[in-house]
Chain A
Amino acid sequence: MATWELKDKAAVCGVGHSSYGRRLNRSPIDLAGEALRNALDDAGLGRDELDGLIVSFGTPIGVDADTLAYTLGLKLTLYNQTWAHGRFTASCIQWAAMAVTAGLATAVACLAALRFSDMRRPVMGGAGDHEGAREAGGGHGEDPVYGMTSPGAGAALVAQKYFQRFGATSRQLAAVPVAFRKHASLNPVAIMRTPITVEDHQLSRLVCAPLHLLDYCLINDGAACVIVTTSERARDLLQQPVYISGMQGLPGGRDEFIWAYPGFGIAQQERFDYHSGLQPVYQRAEVTPADIDALFTYDAFSILAWMALERFGFCSPGEAAAFTQDGRIELGGALPMNTNGGLLSEGHIMGWNHQVEIVRQLRGICGPRQVVHAKIIQWANAYGDSLIYRR
């Protein structure tokens, strides 16, 4: 089979972020500006060398792309933004990679900036449930008429189905937040760094059963930015390029939803067993799951790590509960996951903090949490989109 024509043609040349924390009392525009400046400095690019901007998690909750462009005095030939959903990280990187390889822009900043913890009212559940107000229901399975609100409720429904179908337990699920907290303890910018135990997880309060508080990600403020350019140009800049080898777009349909692979959908009508097959992202990058040195996933809720592992074939459906035990997903294990601490412990920057960490891992600068000899790292999600990066 011929090599996919976009394989390794675009690269990340710079990453940056703001401080992460709760109640920082800073505007998302300010946070975005800090992340963008840091990313440009990291790349060795000047402001006027940036001609593309893609805002993830934009209007109406995050920073707006229009506003950001004129507030920061950017001169752009290409810009775009996604609605205020976290799941568009890979989509934004794909657009950026396509834009630079097609010559529509030379350097594209992809970023998210948010001020979640300062909101005066809940924004993703209850009175602020703009998801559930959508015609035909919310993307996370919201149906406020029956009290079904907040993204975590849909994840709880998936966890309940998973526990029922495969005989897994909440105690086994604890391995995910415990591992990610352990990683965060090695990360000076992580918001939650105190190690937790399985018992801590089990004793934490139930939010939406069967999920406990420690199955839920953080609600915080911060911004993170990734700059994409052509691989050719990246080789002339300050940092070692991190190549984008494979991509897989965001799927949709009745049999799946944001928090689950096909077979766990809220709108589906048939029961069936899911088989991952070799996902297109691997074919494009010309690797298999066995080649992946570390895996990063959108861990808004701990169950999503299990969903991602099974969706992409790291293990078969029903096996993730056992797969994630005994340190296998921890640093030093066979498949380290979310070495930054993830959304569960480093902070919820919509997955952009994960992209920053992936790039730093592939540059080999992660110090005590460095994945030894990391060459190929994957971003892969319960909802099916993915990126494969290599150094």
Chain B
Amino acid sequence: MAAYSKPLPAISPLNAPYWDGLKRHELQLQRCQACGKIWYPPAPFCPGCWSRDFAWQTLSGRGKVNAWVVFHQAYFASCTEDVPYNVAEVELEEGPRLLTNLVAVDNNDITIDMPVEIVFDDVTAEVTLAKFRPISQ
């Protein structure tokens, strides 16, 4: 199998717990212990109330499609065989929105508010991406 040649995340001290969670197949985001807010992307303290008291919480991994686009142009050479591919904004049950790819669905069948659940895609030994697939009704 060819080595994974698509872009990889820039892992920083701030976002490392997020990527470590995905590697363990857990979707974890920071939750404020003071006001209860859960947010993405990772921040040094709660962007709502500025409390420094937060914990990494495992989320349901469920959400709904808020919007999506379909790339017909391959900007990355490594994505040439993927076009047309989708990028979706998924609104998690807990509130935050993630950009992601929807899998196991034809681009023409994506609809607004479509319920989805996380699929952990281990693209390298070190990196797991959070993708989503429709929840069958």
A–B Cβ pairs within 8 angstroms, 18 of them: A122-B75, A126-B74, A126-B76, A126-B77, A129-B75, A132-B7, A136-B42, A144-B7, A145-B7, A145-B129, A148-B87, A149-B7, A157-B67, A161-B66, A164-B112, A207-B72, A269-B95, A270-B95
Is A143's CB under 8 angstroms from B73's CB?
Answer: no
Tell me if B97 and A267 are in contact (CB < 8 A).
yes
- Known A146-B87, A160-B67; judge A269-B72 contact (CB<8 A): no
- Binary contact track B46-57/A, C-beta < 8 Å → 1, others 0: 010000000000
Contacts of A137 in B (CB 8 A): 41, 99
Determine whether the beta carbon of A208 is less than 8 Å from that of B67: no
A135 contacts chain B at the CB level, 8 A cutoff: yes
- Interface size (B, Cβ < 8 Å)? 41
Q: Is A125 an interface residue (CB 8 A)?
A: yes
Q: Determine the main DSSP class of B at the interface with A.
A: loop
Q: Is the CB of B76 within 8 A of A208?
A: no
Q: Are A164 and B67 in contact, with the CB atoms below 8 A?
A: yes
Bound CA–CA A157/B79 (angstroms): 19
Query: How many residue pairs bridge A and B at CB < 8 Å?
Result: 101
Q: In the complex the two chains form, is B72's CB within 8 Å of A156's CB?
A: no
Residues of B56-113 contacting chain A, CB below 8 A: 66-77, 79, 82, 84-85, 87, 89, 95-97, 99-101, 112
As a 0/1 sequence over residues 11 to 22 of chain B, the CB contacts with chain A under 8 angstroms (1 = contact) are 010110000000
Say yes or no: is A224 at the interface (Cβ < 8 Å to chain B): no
Q: Which residues of B contact A268 (CB under 8 A)?
A: 97
Do B68 and A153 touch (CB < 8 A)?
no
Known contacts A129-B75, A206-B70: A143-B99 contact under CB 8 Å: yes
Residue pair A147, B68 in contact (C-beta under 8 Å): no
Are the CB atoms of A209 and B41 closer together than 8 Å? Answer: no
